[in-house]
Amino acid sequence: MPAHRPRKRFGQHFLHDPAVIARIVRSIAPAEDEHLVEIGPGHGALTRALLEAGARLDVIELDRDLIPLLETLAPPPRLRIHQADVLQFDFTTLDSRGGLRVAGNLPYNISTPLLFHLLDSARCIRDMHFMLQKEVVERLAAAPGGRAYGRLSVMIQYRCRVSDLFHIGRGAFTPPPRVESAFVRLVPHPVPPHPASDEALFARVVRQAFSRRRKTLRNALQGLADEEHIADAGLDPRRRPETLAVAEFVALCNHLSAAAD
């Protein structure tokens, strides 16, 4: 089979380092005959290692030219291949008894919208293990008050427990990406630790707050919350959005929701 050239438009950077692959498999720790879903299998380096560990796999690959290569790794039902755009893929159609375990080397150019797409299916997902741009993982795991903390931090931490597991050098991929990478574990909460009574309002407040992150809350949330509402929720209206923990954003939104009833 002719060598496949990585395609820039698909954001392809194929993992090849055996030591990194082994560390990833140890972190995922698939049980014998456990059902996993891999996003963007590429040349199948991680796919092969997960199969050797005993997993059953559904893989989602956009590049149709890679499908013949992947088909050589194992027959169905041990390996089922979906040639599809993962941003349009419905994860709830997969067998999720016990919860799906999702893994992959995510294309960095779609990583943020893909994470939000996966959260829409969080009820059927047990855990997720991803290679992402190091800067994105730092944002996912960031604590309030730091430069990395923002909308992505709040929205993901509201729904998941985040663990920054280890960093991966550029040389582990072909071609080497321009950025450093990291491996992260996301475990959806069965129930959010701090539930928002109106999750759509919560999403709007967080989005607007961080679109004006250098302003105070009373200025950043104009049109959504006035100074009195912010103070009644137990927050200082002079604080900046980047200082609020997830629980404080939820408390504010729950107060706004109750006040509107």
Domains annotated for the chain, with CATH where assigned, are 10-188 (3.40.50.150), 199-260 (1.10.8.100)
Give per-residue pLDDT as tens, 21-38. 999 999 999 998 899 999
pTM for the predicted model, two decimal places: 0.91
Looking at this protein, which amino acid is placed at residue 94? L
3-state secondary structure of 98: coil
Give per-residue pLDDT as tens, 68-91. 999 999 999 999 999 999 999 999
> Helix, strand, coil % (nearest 5) of the chain?
40, 20, 40
- What's the pLDDT score for residue 201? 97
Give per-residue pLDDT as tens, 102-158. 999 888 889 999 999 999 998 899 999 999 999 999 999 999 998 999 999 999 999
Yes or no: say if 158 and 246 are a contact pair by the CB < 8 Å rule. yes
The DSSP symbol for 66 reads G
Give per-residue pLDDT as tens, 149-202. 999 999 999 999 999 999 999 888 887 878 899 999 999 999 999 999 999 999
- What's the pLDDT score for residue 228? 94
Residue 14: closest CA among 177, 184, 247: 177
- Please report where in the chains the tokens 């939104």 appear, as a residue: 253
Token pair listed for 204: 């709007």
pLDDT bracket for residue 2 (50, 70, 90) = very low
CB within 8 Å of 35: residues ≥ 6 apart: 55, 56, 57, 58, 94, 95, 97, 98, 100, 101
- What's the pLDDT score for residue 33? 85
CB within 8 Å of 96: residues ≥ 6 apart: 124, 125
pLDDT bracket for residue 5 (50, 70, 90) = low
